[in-house]
Structures are given as structure tokens and as C-alpha cells.
């Protein structure tokens, strides 16, 4: 499904440090001479970056969870067609900062029945998973304080508060236990160098 390249994703709650780790891994692999596409969701293609602005800025109740499922999936479809699949077809390593697991958690856990809706739409419109997903696990209070400290304009989900972050963390850990071949869980409370070393170790079988 994912061509000749390698598709890696990073997941975690807000402020988990996953974006730093995704960037560090991209730099490390490039220094080894590998061709890497470092990308993110929502976004990663011009159209999907426009959708990013729609979903991440504004009031927390700007969109319903159902509408968000459609917007995030639309962004993902564009990102997949224009960025991810061409890179994988060209044999590159794609490092994606969030992918479908984020929709499973952030939208799927917001009300009963939404998780099934996310999965159904994913099967219809996306139909692929990363070869490996690195989950950076982080205490929700620490993560939220770190995310809030950034003072950006993309605070719609951070505005949902610590309770949402707590449910996301539990949900991500549950997802990882249910998909042990794809997921590796790493303790994000360590210093960034130790987390980066754990990330490399978690990929040693597929990126020797
Ligand atoms: P980021 O801070 O990692 O760039 O992610 C932006 C926010 O978007 C984060 O709060 C999680 C949220 N998000 C979803 O709610 N659903 C999704 O499918 C994705 C990819 C992100």
C-alpha cells in the first residue's frame, strides 16, 4: 500500500515533544544520506495547509466533532495524494507529524459512536497506515503547560483543556496496545537526547 519508501508517523498529546523528535529524526536520517520528506498534519500540502488554518484557529465550538472529521479527512486525502504517496513511490522516508491516529483520538473520542465514524471514513478515503508510529507519551498537565507556553494562534484544541488531554493520552496508549506491530511507545518525560535515542532504537529493525 505504501510503495517502496518508508512511512513513519509521530503521535502524542499537545506538548508531548513529538514535533521536536520528528524534526531531529529527519535531520539524523538526512545526515546519513537518506532522502526524507518531513511533513505534518493537518497540512503538508498547499490545500491541506489552508484547511489547517480553518480547523486550528478560532473558537473551540467553531466546528462540531463530525464536521471536524470531514475537514481533517479532506486535508489528509489531499496530503496523501500530493505529498505522501509520491514520496513513498520515489522510495523516500516520509516522517509525518501526526496522521490518522490523531483523528481517531481528537475527534473519535469526543462522543459515543464517533470513533466508528472516523474508522469508516478512513477506510473509504485514506485506506493506509504508517509502517511505524512512534507515540511520545507525556503527562497531560506537563504537556498542556508546554503547549500553552508557545503562545501561538493555533490553540483551538489546547482550549479544550486538561480533561481532553487526559482522555487522549489514555486513548493513544490503548491504540498502541491494540496495534503492537505498528506502534512503539516512548517516555517523553526524559531529556530530548534520551527520547531521540529511544526513537532510533524503536526504528532499528526497519531503518538499520
Ligand atoms: P500539532 O499541534 O501537533 O501541530 O497539532 C495540531 C492540533 O490538531 C492538535 O491539537 C491536534 C489536532 N488534530 C486533530 O484534532 N485531529 C487530527 O486529525 C489532527 C491531525 C490534529
According to the model, what pLDDT value does residue 153 have? 74
The better pLDDT of the pair 149, 37 is held by 37
- Whether residue 203 is preceded by a cis peptide bond, meaning omega within 30 degrees of 0, is no
Q: Give the tens place of pLDDT for each residue, 155-202.
A: 777 666 788 889 999 999 999 999 999 999 999 999 999 999 999 999
Global pTM reads: 0.95
Task: Give the residue among 117, 124, 125 at the shortest CA–CA distance from 81.
Answer: 125
According to the model, what pLDDT value does residue 205 have? 97
Do residues 25 and 82 make contact, with C-beta atoms less than 8 angstroms apart? no
Do residues 207 and 6 make contact, with C-beta atoms less than 8 angstroms apart? yes
Show the cell assigned to 151.
503562545
Give residue 13's Cα distance to chain centre. 9
Do residues 74 and 40 make contact, with C-beta atoms less than 8 angstroms apart? no
| Ligand 1 first shell, C-beta below 6 A | 14, 41-42, 56, 72, 98, 102-103, 106-107, 157
Atom of ligand 1 nearest to the CA of 43: 20
Q: Give the tens place of pLDDT for each residue, 8-19.
A: 999 999 999 999
CA distances 149 to 109, 136, 143, 165, 191, Å, are 25, 19, 10, 16, 18
Task: Give the residue among 154, 171, 159 at the shortest CA–CA distance from 43.
Answer: 154
Q: What is the mean pLDDT of residues 47-51?
A: 98
The CA distance from 166 to 13, in Å, is 9
- For 6-202, CATH gives 3.40.50.300
- Tell how far the Cα of 165 is from the centroid of ligand 1, in angstroms: 12
Q: Give the tens place of pLDDT for each residue, 94-121.
A: 999 999 999 999 999 989 999 999 999 9
Pocket test for ligand 1, best of 39, 43, 105, 106 (most atoms within 8 A of CB): 106
40 DSSP β-pair partners: 97
Q: Give the tens place of pLDDT for each residue, 72-83.
A: 999 999 999 999
The CA distance from 45 to 40, in Å, is 9
The CA distance from 116 to 206, in Å, is 31
Q: Give the tens place of pLDDT for each residue, 127-152.
A: 999 999 999 999 999 888 888 787 77
Is the pLDDT assigned to residue 33 strictly greater than 80?
A: yes
- Tell how far the Cα of 105 is from the centroid of ligand 1, in angstroms: 10
Do residues 63 and 56 make contact, with C-beta atoms less than 8 angstroms apart? no
Residue ranges per domain, the chain? 6-202
Is the pLDDT assigned to residue 154 strictly greater than 80?
A: no
Amino acid at each position: 500500500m505504501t510503495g517502496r519508501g518508508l512511512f513513519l508517523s509521530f503521535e502524542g498529546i499537545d506538548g508531548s515533544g513529538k514535533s521536536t523528535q520528528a524534526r531531529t529524526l529527519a535531520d539524523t536520517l538526512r545526515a546519513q544520506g537518506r532522502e526524507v520528506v518531513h511533513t505534518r498534519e493537518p497540512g503538508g500540502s498547499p490545500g491541506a495547509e489552508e484547511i489547517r488554518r480553518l480547523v486550528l484557529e478560532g473558537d473551540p465550538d467553531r466546528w462540531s466533532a463530525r464536521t471536524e472529521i470531514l475537514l481533517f479527512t479532506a486535508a489528509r486525502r489531499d496530503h496523501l495524494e500530493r505529498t505522501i504517496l509520491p514520496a513513498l513511490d520515489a522510495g523516500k522516508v516520509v516522517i509525518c507529524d501526526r496522521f490518522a491516529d490523531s483523528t481517531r483520538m481528537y475527534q473519535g473520542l469526543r462522543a459515543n459512536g464517533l470513533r466508528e465514524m472516523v474508522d469508516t471514513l478512513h477506510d473509504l478515503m485514506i485506506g493506509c497506515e504508517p509502517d511505524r508510529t512512534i507515540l511520545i507519551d507525556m503527562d497531560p498537565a506537563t504537556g498542556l503547560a508546554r503547549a500553552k507556553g508557545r503562545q501561538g494562534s493555533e490553540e483551538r484544541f489546547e482550549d479544550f483543556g486538561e480533561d481532553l488531554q487526559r482522555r487522549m493520552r489514555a486513548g493513544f496508549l490503548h491504540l498502541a496496545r491494540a496495534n503492537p506491530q505498528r506502534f512503539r511507545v516512548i517516555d517523553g518525560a526524559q531529556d530530548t537526547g534520551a527520547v531521540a535515542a529511544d526513537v532510533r532504537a524503536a526504528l532499528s529493525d526497519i531503518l538499520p
